[in-house]
Structure 1
């Protein structure tokens, strides 16, 4: 890392935010922008992407001014577990239902932590599954299966 970058964590975080923000802006340009009163499909991704890119640029600028520690080791196992949990949530949602998808998401992502404990994780997963059913299915009326066809419901 060059010596003029004084805070590598801010630098790399800024780069990631800047890339995601600019990607959203570029991809949003394929659609009509609209106006603030009558928003088109590109309005939200363009505005949000611009804000994200601005936050990234500020992070990059701060990395040259503010002193900080170097980036520690790259946690590949933890990254893969959390990414797998999110992907499994998406795959399980339609076939297994909301409750099993939330349970898998919480348990698998909690397992990525070095402070993982089974009983508190199971309690958290059950509570979040019940909360999700209450909010999304009962209160908001979203058409999500609580238990899906893969489980015989």
Structure 2
């Protein structure tokens, strides 16, 4: 049976983006919107949710136009192991952020997340993790002045 959807990946990604964009708008609607000059707590999530919904709508529309490309656009397998690894790394980041500090949390996040890739190489992953840990401290703590612990209480910090 022939489907009118020519690009299934674009269609399902569009559905996911549209769902999350609209969900953000609906879930934040009880807060004050404000204006562009004086943004309320709902302003940024609403604008971001709207943009995400527009990207999703564009993806859905794109799924119905153009030539059908079955070989390059087939939906692949569901990689549950990789999803669990990345989700676990993000949860561990949240736990380590308060206890160990930003550099340790960022290092663990990058190293564990890279383990989910089929092209995982320990040397390059370690180099990337160290570089991004340093970059995150420089950007978020030093340049932006965000109150994030560099050394957490688990490691003898404040």
Measured against aligned partners, the alpha-carbon deviations of 1:12-32 in whole angstroms (never above 9, x if no partner) come to 000000000000111121112
Q: Distance in 1 between matches of 2:2 and 2:97?
A: 45
**Structure 1 segments of 4+ aligned residues over 6 angstroms from their partners:** none
Q: Distance in 2 between matches of 1:108 and 1:2?
A: 41
- Aligned pairs for 1:35-114 within 5 A: 35-66=35-66, 67-68=68-69, 69-114=73-118
Q: Which residue of 1 aligns with 2:7?
A: 7
Q: Distance in 1 between matches of 2:39 and 2:140?
A: 26
Partner SS state of residue 77, structure 1: helix
How much has 1:147 moved relative to structure 2?
1.9
Q: Which residue of 1 aligns with 2:32?
A: 32
How much has 1:34 moved relative to structure 2?
2.2
Structure 2 gaps of 5+ residues are none
Q: Which residue of 1 aligns with 2:134?
A: 130
Q: Distance in 1 between matches of 2:16 and 2:3?
A: 20
Structure 1 gaps of 5+ residues are none
Q: Distance in 1 between matches of 2:114 and 2:51?
A: 30
Coordinate RMSD, CA, aligned? 1.6
Relative to the length of structure 1, the TM-score reads 0.92
After TM superposition, the structure 1 stretch with the greater mean CA deviation from structure 2, 60-69 or 5-14, is: 60-69
Measured against aligned partners, the alpha-carbon deviations of 1:114-151 in whole angstroms (never above 9, x if no partner) come to 11111111111111112222222223332222121112
Relative to the length of structure 2, the TM-score reads 0.89
Q: Distance in 1 between matches of 2:55 and 2:13?
A: 10
1:152 to 2:139 alignment: no
